[in-house]
Chain A
Amino acid sequence: MIPAPFDYYRPSDLDGVIALLQEHGDEARVLAGGHSLIPMMKLRMADVPHLIDLQGIDSLRAINVTGTRVTIGAMVTQHDLIDSAELSSAAPILRETALQIADPQVRYMGTVGGNVANGDPGNDMPGLMQCLDAQLHLIGPDGERSIAARDYYEAAYMTAREDDEVLTAISFDAQPGGYAYEKQKRKIGDYATAAAAVTIQKSGGSVAAASIAMTNLSDTPVWSEAAGAALVGTACDAGAIKAAVAAMLGDIDPTEDNRGPVAFKRHVAGVILTRAITRAWDRA
């Protein structure tokens, strides 16, 4: 419950953040909503001598929808995201997913950027961002760069972000068509036993394009290119869904924990993906 001591900083711009990260190296961490980092600090599983709070940087809270391009500042909270009529209309899967994350209090504080950057395979946004083919925008001492969410996750808590980089925003092209985020969990606030993010575009009664990503079924989120491809050109009938599930099962690698053994998780992954595809197709 009692975290170790640290020095606290609240810079008002990103230059200030980068300067502190450069000065303190891996002894420094940025603090967004604090709802993964502070629990880890309370358990002394994270040791952060220098804590850089991002709450003073207004630019990180911007939400921008221009045509189909959606850009979300890293400090936009889950509550902001659910509350934004603009976002809910441009990409309703964001709201559907955010409402399945944590609980009201955590959603007032927890941010999209923290969820995406954290690197815990239990987080829901990473799989969603892979499904949407989002770009993650980072800033560091050498300037800005972008990396695809599909290339960002290397292993549990290991990502492509360097220690002196900060995730500033996430952007993607909102696709028209059907969508679903389906999550199996033991109770409110739990990370998924299995979850699936699905988008489907329909053309003339068949699937024109589909994207499928799975949550908490490997040490990273899993974008299953093969599962999406299995649906394309079909009428999204039972046979096609079965083929997509089979393809997805070839890409995941769950481990046993309190949520169940591997065989159960693979079973649940199939059930959840079947439901998600069915719902996305109904909405397409």
Chain B
Amino acid sequence: MSNKMHIKMTVNGKAEEFLAEPRELLIYTLRERLNVTGPHIGCETSHCGACTVTLNGKSVKACTLFVAQADGAELTTIEGLGTPDSLHVLQEAFREHHGLQCGYCTPGMITRASKLLEENPTPTEEEVRFGMAGNMCRCTGYQNIVKSILAAAAEMNAAKEAAQ
């Protein structure tokens, strides 16, 4: 029944074009079709946020979008935020402040945190906790994730000031 669609999207700056069934969930497009396996799947009820990516400037759960909806979209995943040789400030802060253990929630956490700090560069602890509430973690108890994000915010603001 369902016809394949010709889909175009940009993922971490790279143009992608392929045929896909409209029902393909975006998380599977990323992981299985494009081999972008940082975003994870932790649930099937849209709660955990392990699949969080940035789509056209919004933090979204890639398990709750069809590839058809993302036709024409621009996506950033954890792979697009930094490289092993040149970590994103948030990646460095999560390492420094022990903001991860098993690492399964981390790609979603950091991708979401990057958008949170873009919208609110100087969040309070409470704002970080509320702004990250769509992302669950089984290992850390959140405390060090909050520390990591606050530290990254301070670092980014200091860098901004130094640049001025």
A-to-B contact residues, CB < 8 Å: 1-8, 10, 31, 34-35, 38-39, 41-43, 49, 51, 53, 55, 79, 102-106, 108-109, 188-189
Q: Which of A1, A51, A55, A108 contacts B22 (CB 8 A)?
A: A51
Q: What's the nearest-Cβ distance from chain B to residue A201, in Å?
A: 31
Asked if B69 and A35 make an inter-chain contact with CB atoms under 8 angstroms apart, the answer reads no
A100 nearest CB across to chain B (Å): 11
Those of B11-66 within 8 Å (CB) of chain A: 21-23, 25, 41, 44-47, 49, 52, 58-61, 63-66
Chain B residues with CB under 8 Å of A189's CB are 47, 133-134
User: Are the CB atoms of A105 and B44 closer together than 8 Å?
Assistant: no
**Given contacts A103-B49, A104-B59, A105-B52, are A39 and B64 in contact (CB under 8 A)?**
yes
Of B1-9, B87-95, B151-159, the segment with at least 4 beta carbons within 8 Å of chain A is B1-9
**What is the CA–CA distance of A210 and B5 in the complex, to the nearest angstrom?**
52
Instruction: Determine how close the nearest CB of chain B comes to the CB of A16; give it in whole angstroms.
Output: 16
Q: Which residues in B have their C-beta under 8 angstroms from that of A4?
A: 23
Can you give 29 A-B contacts (C-beta < 8 A)? A5-B23, A6-B22, A6-B23, A7-B22, A8-B5, A8-B68, A10-B71, A34-B69, A35-B46, A38-B46, A38-B65, A38-B66, A39-B46, A42-B63, A49-B1, A51-B68, A53-B68, A79-B58, A104-B116, A104-B131, A104-B133, A105-B49, A105-B59, A105-B61, A106-B64, A109-B58, A188-B133, A189-B47, A189-B134
Query: Is the Cβ of A109 less than 8 Å from the Cβ of B66?
Result: no
The residues of B with any CB-CB pair to A shorter than 8 Å are 1-3, 5, 21-23, 25, 41, 44-47, 49, 52, 58-61, 63-66, 68-69, 71, 112, 116, 131-134
CB distance from B24 to the nearest CB of A (A): 9
Are A6 and B2 closer than 8 Å at their CB atoms? yes
A242 CB → nearest B CB, Å: 33
CA distance A104 to B116 in the complex (A): 9
Query: A6 to B23, alpha carbons, bound, how many Å?
Result: 7
What chain A residues lie within 8 Å of B134 (beta carbons)? 102-106, 188-189
Q: How far is the CB of B75 from chain A (nearest CB, A)?
A: 14
Q: Judging by beta carbons under 8 Å apart, are B58 and A108 in contact?
A: yes
A43 in contact with B21 given A34-B64, A103-B134 (CB within 8 Å):
no
Closest CB-CB distance, A255 to chain B, in whole Å? Answer: 21
